[in-house]
Amino acid sequence: MPSPSQLPTEIRKLQVALPNDTAVPEGLPAVPHRHFVLHKPYGCLSQFRSEFKGERNKQFLGALHDFPPGTMAIGRLDEASEGLLLLTTDGALSAQVRSPGVEKEYYAQVDGLVTDEALAQLRTGFALRAADGMAYHTAPCQARRLAEAPPFAPRTRKIRDERHGPTSWVAIVLTEGKFRQVRKMTAAAGLPTLRLVRVRVGGVWLSDLAPGEAREVAAFAGCGG
């Protein structure tokens, strides 16, 4: 991959002029696509800007790393969720990763103890409502109890005190991605989510990325591309 200084002058100028999330206009030479993995921290929005006044003082992805113009987040994690977020300048690849069938794995710390009955319910699925109010039934998924708490860094906002009852961790693997789906599923199983961390997308793992850390990669393994 050529370095920015090796690109033609008109491409370098275009890169400076275009904000993130903006496609390169047709007719100009293509800039090689770039791909990144990011550990999205708690409290950060999975976007580069917002038109809503109430979100203008929020933390955006651009504050975490010097991403190139045209970079887009592949899917989203809500503000209170953490973990693996893939980013790319390739719109076709983004659509491929977001397509049904690509696994996304989450570790959820829940209020209460994960029982065999709750696991069976999670695996079978629930009748829920999407963000637009439409009813849907979650697809069958994988769910397992984690024997120990994962070694994540402490969250910037403290989880509720253990004096209010026990907590436990569950791993959930989805092949779909509805709005706040994991949180809705655990709540329906009687286990409200206290902390949610995405650890895998396809064959890409969160691994040792620290909260807020981004790393450029050559490709996204196991994501259909």
Tally Cβ neighbours within 10 Å of residue 103.
Answer: 15
Beta bridge partners of 137: 127
Q: Where are the alpha helices (DSSP H) in the chain?
A: 9-17, 91-98, 116-124, 181-188
Tally Cβ neighbours within 10 Å of residue 109.
Answer: 21
Left if phi > 0, otherwise alpha if psi is -120 to 50, otherwise beta: which for 12? alpha
- Catalytic hit among 21, 78, 116, 208: 78
> Roughly what angle, to the nearest 10 degrees, separates helices 181-188 and 116-124?
130
State the Rg of the chain over Cα: 19
Q: Establish whether 66 is a catalytic residue.
A: no
Output DSSP code: residue 178. -
Residue 169 to residue 60: CA distance in whole angstroms: 28
Output DSSP code: residue 157. S
The residues carrying an active-site annotation are 78
